[in-house]
A and B are shown apart, each in its own frame.
Chain A
Amino acid sequence: MTVTEAPPATEEPPVHKVSARKRLVPYWLLLPGILWLLVFFALPLIYQGSTSVQEGSLEAGFKVTWHFQTYWDALAEYWPQFIRSLLYAGTATILCLLLGYPLAYLIAFKAGRWRNLVLVLVIAPFFTSFLIRTLAWKTILADGGPVVGVLDALHVLDVTSWLGWTEGSRLLATPLAVVCGLTYNFLPFMILPLYTSLERIDGRLHEAAGDLYATPATTFRKVTFPLSMPGVVSGTLLTFIPAAGDYVNAELLGSTDTKMVGSVIQSQFLRVLDYPTAAALSFILMAIVLIMVTVYMRKSGTEDLV
């Protein structure tokens, strides 16, 4: 016999240690990137937190006085902009979902050999600066342009101005234009996650549902949509978060009545130079967004954003 079970009498063999160098590998890999994020992402937030409770002026310098009143003052003065930001971003997110879902579905299940071309057309606008594309909306929505003309003739603008979305026979410089711009700008962020999760669905599931007496509508409600939930969640987050902080669309397509909180932060910081107010505003925005995101992700049971 060439093999024996180790006799229990043999002395305890020495235990080999995993080398320290090997154990440190992950830390070395993480170090530079994490340090970068700590110094240029986390630390700035701390600085900003401290700035928000400072008092003073640009000339005399700012000092930490734990002046939390700034938060109340900022909220009291700018609550309309906060509400507006959340409203616009929320509307744009819902529109993105409604517009994006059919397109993502089309690419995933119906496009056949055109799939790659359509995907390219969805992604390609990314490569033209979004500011240029947003400016193009100024042309499209221009007063007296074809879009305004058609909508006016169909009396759509009467309805929307009654709702307060537009003013008279204008589209530019109205809330509708801003929401339209936001929707346009963040549509790809909705479509790509949607497409990714739809594409993973096995086509046979549709056949199985049909086989089990589900109508196409029921199949969608009970099979396709639930399975695409990860895409819906990450798509809505990737749309809502940047939209809530955006000020480009509000500035380019809106008017002073459509200012969003991003504009306020920007002008407080870069023009008014009231750093404590700007810092407080941006902290409030961060808190609102993070709370909403956390609650939303808890409810939908997802862990990862992308």
Chain B
Amino acid sequence: MAVVKWLRRNLVVIAGLLTLAYMILPNVVVMVFSFNKPNGRFNYAWQQFSTDAWADPCGVADLCGSLALSLQLAAWATLGATILGTMIAFALVRYRFRARGAINSLIFLPMAMPEVVMAASLLTLFLNMGAPLGFWTVLIAHIMFCLSFVVTAVKARVMSMDPRLEEAARDLYAGPVQTFVRVTLPIAAPGIAAGALLAFSLSFDDFIITNFNAGSTVTFPMFVWGSAQRGTPVQINVIGTAMFVIAVLVVLGGQFIASRRKNSASPK
């Protein structure tokens, strides 16, 4: 009976941890299979341990090229979407203007639209305009669908910002530019950073819209997609594992620094 009681009391925790396991499992598989030495072209069944792929992560044609292209795309898309999105977020929170409802809908709709619809319609536009598909069309598409997410993230932060802080800065001899650089930007920074991070991961990981509008350009997700048809090199798992580990380390490291700073600054 005691066991049943314990199970009942910890039901939520157990269910939560099972979900967590479900979410982590594929990453573990990816990691384990990065040390596989598969028989044949597909890396789906375990054969034997090997570190070959780790020794030569770029050993597959076009893999690292596509990775570099994706990183580059994500960087530019992040920059573009973050600047445009931050401007919109500030306008939405801080000013009154006409057509607010229409503008809100225009920002909301891309998030409420299945990706494949946006992908297909954008391709229709590019085909109609005779635009050559490639890096630029993909970049345009990425900025488009990242924009709304940046607006949402930054808006939340700016809304919680006390407008009196900026008034205080202006009252203390800071002109418009100084006020923005010295007060507004530093305080809005966490929201902008969150938006930028979101934009980066959305852009880097996007497949559907990219696949429609890339022409013969191959991004990293497109490379993975292609290899799923032709044969999956172990190097894909190496890259996937490396990204996972780096991400976890960066986040944990950031938190460690943040908590140390908090502790050292807090009153005794």
- Chain A positions within 8 Å of B, measured between CB atoms, are 25-27, 29-30, 32-34, 36-38, 40-45, 47-48, 51, 99-100, 102-107, 110, 116-118, 120-140, 142, 184, 187-188, 237-238, 241-242, 244-248, 252, 262, 265-266, 269-270, 275, 278-279, 282-283, 285-286, 289-290, 293, 304-306
Contacts and interface: CB of A to CB of B under 8 A. Distances in A.
Contact of B85 (A33, A41, A283): A33
Which of the listed residues A34, A38, A42 has the most CB atoms from chain B within 10 Å of its own CB? A34
A110 B111 contact: no
Contacts of B117: 245, 265, 282-283, 285-286, 289
Contacts of B17: 103, 106
B73 interface: no
B60 interface: no
Contact of A241 (B26, B97, B113, B120): B113
B35 interface: no
B118 A42 contact: no
B104 to A, nearest CB: 9
A306 B152 contact: yes
Contacts of A47: 121, 124-125, 128
A146 to B, nearest CB: 11
B5 interface: no
A36 B83 CA distance: 12
Interface string B12-30: 1101111110111111011
B23 A121 contact: yes
Contact of A184 (B18, B22, B113): B22
Contacts of A30: 87-88, 91, 97, 103
A44 to B, nearest CB: 4
B107 interface: yes
A100 B44 contact: no
B247 A136 contact: no
Contacts of B122: 40-41, 44
Contact of B116 (A45, A51, A247): A247
Contacts of B143: 36, 40
Given A44-B125, A140-B29, A36 B116 contact: no
Contacts of B27: 124-125, 128, 133, 136
20 contacts: A30-B97, A32-B84, A33-B147, A34-B103, A36-B147, A102-B12, A104-B16, A126-B201, A127-B201, A128-B30, A135-B44, A135-B236, A136-B33, A237-B112, A248-B225, A269-B123, A282-B120, A285-B114, A289-B113, A289-B114
